[in-house]
Amino acid sequence: MTRPLELQGLRALVTGGTKGVGRAVVASLLEAGADVMTTARSKRVGTASERFIAADVATPGGCQAVVDAVRRHWGRLDILVHVVGGSTAPAGGFRVLDDSEWQKALDLNLLAAVRLDRALLPTMLEQRSGVIVHVTSIQGRLPLPEATTAYAAAKAALSTYSKALSKEASPQGVRVVRVAPGWVETDAAVGLVAEIARQGNIGMEAARQAIMDSLGGIPLGRPNKPEEVADLIAFLVSPRAAAITGAEFVIDGGTVPIA
Ligand SMILES: NC(=O)c1ccc[n+]([C@@H]2O[C@H](COP(=O)([O-])OP(=O)(O)OC[C@H]3O[C@@H](n4cnc5c(N)ncnc54)[C@H](OP(=O)(O)O)[C@@H]3O)[C@@H](O)[C@H]2O)c1
């Protein structure tokens, strides 16, 4: 018999929940019985079961709008999953990363979490219960230089910030954990594979392999599925993970080559 994750009645905010990993996290938490609120800049057509707040969390005002919505609709929060993140920086290495590109990387990948935590964690501390998950990346320790130097550095900063926050919050009953995915085959990733195949005049499988090769290979032979990352997060936010805090969980099919 499988044991349920016991999320019934818990209130969960998931940032970046309309695509990729975030969409899978929303589905997993809803399936486990949580009430879910999610945010993105634009609503996914067909989103039904969760509350949705349109906001750009890369800005202080967008974060405040999300905080206001949580307070207005729920008052309290039990689970906060920071999925939002990514990079739109151009290729070209460190020379093309001007201050504005660095600021964009930090706003989306670090400061969105910092701002939301700063506003929402105090209520969790008063409740003496809650869980925060920061979605980092294996790039925090395995950075790729061509276009994602600033992204990788921001994710490393997010990881260090998360560890510090766990030391402050855990003694007061709030767990703070990190999940570091390797390559995840989201819709956007499938689009990238198709683009590489088109540009290189090669098949989809060869293009997929080229991405895996650029990461130094994936021993498992394939990328993560968004649902696999979501399952790990759903476990970590559940009472079954009550002893886990201050740790980072890598899910990458073995990509990171060190123990
Ligand atoms: N995919 C991978 O291979 C991979 C690997 C390692 C780590 N990760 C990490 O995993 C997380 C999810 O990645 P993903 O690939 O699943 O993402 P994704 O498919 O690109 O989806 C990103 C989500 O965030 C929202 N979003 C983006 N910018 C936003 C903003 N400024 N304000 C509010 N919402 C915003 C998007 O909706 P809108 O566009 O409508 O705003 C969407 O819901 C990220 O933190 C990423 O760094 C991903």
CATH 3.40.50.720 fits 11-184+224-251, yes or no: yes
- For a pLDDT cut of 70, what percent of the chain falls above it? 98
Over range 1-6, report the average pLDDT: 71
Residue 2 has pLDDT above 70, yes or no: no
List the 174-181 sheet strands across, edge first. 51-54, 35-40, 11-15, 79-82, 130-135, 174-181, 248-251
**Residue 60 near residue 218, CB atoms below 8 Å:** no
Q: What is the pLDDT of residue 72?
A: 96
The question of whether 151 is a catalytic residue gets the answer yes
Q: What is the pLDDT of residue 50?
A: 79
Choosing from 52, 151, 161, 249, the catalytic residue is: 151
Query: What does pTM read for this prediction?
Result: 0.97
Token reading at 189? 């990733």
Using alpha carbons only, give the angle 76, 66, 23 rounded to the nearest 5 degrees.
95
Q: What is the pLDDT of residue 46?
A: 61
Name the residue at shortest CA distance from atom 22 of ligand 1.
16
Q: Of 61, 50, 58, nearest to 17 (Cα)? A: 50
> 80, exposed or middle or buried, with CB in 10 Å at 0-12, 13-18, 19+?
buried
pLDDT digits (tens, 9 = 90+) for 59-72: 999 999 999 999 99
Residue 166 has pLDDT above 60, yes or no: yes
Distance 236 CA to ligand 1 centre (A): 20
Distance 109 CA to ligand 1 centre (A): 10
- For a pLDDT cut of 90, what percent of the chain falls above it? 93
Task: Tell which one of 14, 45, 83 to mutate to probe ligand 1, the residue whose CB is within 8 A of the most ligand atoms.
Answer: 83
Distance of CA 10 to the CA centre of its chain: 19
CA–CA dist 16, 235 (Å, integer)? 19
Over range 245-257, report the average pLDDT: 97
Over range 234-254, report the average pLDDT: 98
Over range 116-134, report the average pLDDT: 98
* CB of 255 shorter than 6 A to ligand 1: no
